[in-house]
């Protein structure tokens, strides 16, 4: 057909999507209800998806563009059996104590604020030995894999378990083991304790957007912790609204501490601890803590765009590529 007759050719793109917030006050009772409906033994994982309200079909159930987010809950004594898949996934712990995630044979204790990685094609399972419900944020690059046609899933039992390097080998800053054992495109460390992230972000300098920001990295490369997903902890300083920034990447935010509001395009989104909201690409974004300090966990598809040479980020009147 003639290109000039195409309804999409040479047309400017539509404006940025709106942000959407999932309030913890709304989510928490739904999780309690879900526990009465089913168990991990019956449904593989007890998960509530955070689906964007513009979804029209199962192929459009992303939380924001290339990312799917969900809330998973494990009750005391429960386990989620091992499986692996081609999609990258992370777990950011929201509530509870006493559970572990086992990733390629490495036991990762789960405490509030910890980041647990389950990178592509890594075996992982969950076991809860504590006394209270264990709840965490799941974030995966499922929509990207659906678009590319690269979704794969393998249930247990575990086979072909790869060798891993003990986390203690990476415990000393600026000194790394010389090894050819791990050549995977993801971090050999699967657990990032919240206490370590807090210490790092407290010492970080003020950045271009007036926040303190640290990145969860692969210690062997200094790059993103997983090949297609990037994660940061952002600290908002008391009485210091951030400078506006804009990016063509997409992100999901989880409020770790504090309360405040974010200006996302023409919207103002108020938030409190454990609320989850999206930062769709193309919007000018600014944050402000109500009183005192606030911290946000942010996971994004930024690494995908960076690897393709397409990442664009702007801070106020300053632009960086």
Task: Determine what percent of the chain is predicted with pLDDT higher than 90.
Answer: 79
pLDDT at 320 > cutoff 50: no
The pLDDT of residue 6: 85
The pLDDT of residue 76: 97
- pTM of the predicted model as reported, rounded to 2 decimal places: 0.94
pLDDT at 57 > cutoff 90: no
Mean pLDDT (whole number) for 23-51? 94
Q: Look over the chain and give the mean of its residue pLDDT values, rounded to a whole number.
A: 93
Mean pLDDT (whole number) for 119-127? 97
Per-residue pLDDT of 139-183, as tens digits, reads 999 999 999 999 999 999 999 888 888 888 998 988 988 877 667
pLDDT at 33 > cutoff 70: yes
Residues 166, 233, 204, 235: is their CA dihedral positive or negative? negative
SS3 of the chain: the string is CCHHHCCCCCCCCCCCCCCCEECHHHHHHHHHHHHHHCCHHHHCCCEEEECCCCCCCHHHCCCECCEEEEEEEECCCCEEEEEEECCCEEEEEEECCCEEEEECCEEEEECCCCEEEECCCCCEEEEECCCCCEEEEEEECHHHHHHHCCCCEEECCCCCCCCCCCHHHHCCCCCCCCCCCCCCCCCCCCEECHHHHHHHHHHCCECCCCCEEEECECCCCCCECCCCCEEEEEEECCCCCCCCEEECCCEEEEEEECCEEEEECCEEEEECCCCEEEECCCCCEEEEECCCCEEEEEEECHHHHHHCCCCCEEECCEEEC
* Domains recognised in the chain with CATH numbers: 18-320 (2.60.120.10)
The lowest-confidence range among 45-59, 68-82, 148-162, 189-203 is 45-59
d(CA 186, CA 221): 9
Mean pLDDT (whole number) for 204-212? 95
């Amino acid at each position: 057909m003639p290109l000039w007759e195409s309804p999409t050719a040479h047309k400017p793109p539509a404006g940025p999507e709106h942000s959407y917030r999932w309030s913890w006050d709304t989510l928490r009772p739904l999780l309690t209800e879900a526990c009465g409906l089913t168990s991990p033994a019956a449904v593989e994982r007890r998960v509530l998806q955070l689906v964007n309200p513009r979804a029209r079909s199962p192929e459009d159930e992303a939380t924001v563009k290339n990312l799917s987010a969900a809330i998973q809950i494990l009750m005391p004594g429960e386990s989620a059996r091992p499986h692996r898949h081609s999609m990258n996934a992370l777990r950011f712990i929201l509530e509870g104590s006493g559970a572990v995630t086992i990733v390629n044979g490495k036991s990762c204790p789960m405490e509030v604020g910890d980041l647990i990685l389950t990178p592509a094609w890594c075996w992982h399972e969950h076991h809860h030995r504590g006394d209270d419900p264990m709840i965490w944020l799941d974030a995966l690059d499922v929509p990207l894999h659906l678009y590319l046609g690269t979704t794969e899933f393998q249930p247990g039992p575990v086979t072909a378990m790869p060798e891993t390097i003990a986390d203690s080998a990476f415990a000393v800053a600026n000194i790394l083991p010389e090894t050819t054992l791990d050549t995977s495109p993801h971090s050999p460390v699967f657990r990032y304790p919240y206490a370590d992230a807090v210490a790092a972000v407290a010492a970080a300098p003020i950045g271009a957007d007036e926040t303190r920001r640290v990145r969860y990295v692969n210690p062997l490369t200094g790059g993103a912790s997983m090949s297609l997903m990037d994660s940061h902890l952002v600290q908002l300083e008391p009485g210091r609204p951030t400078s506006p920034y804009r990016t063509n990447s997409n992100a999901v935010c989880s409020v770790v501490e504090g309360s405040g509001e974010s200006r996302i395009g023409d919207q103002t989104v108020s938030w409190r601890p454990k609320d989850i909201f999206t930062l769709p690409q193309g919007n000018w974004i600014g944050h402000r803590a109500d009183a005192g300090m606030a911290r946000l966990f942010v996971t994004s598809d930024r690494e995908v765009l960076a690897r393709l040479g397409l990442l664009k980020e702007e801070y106020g009147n300053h632009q960086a590529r």
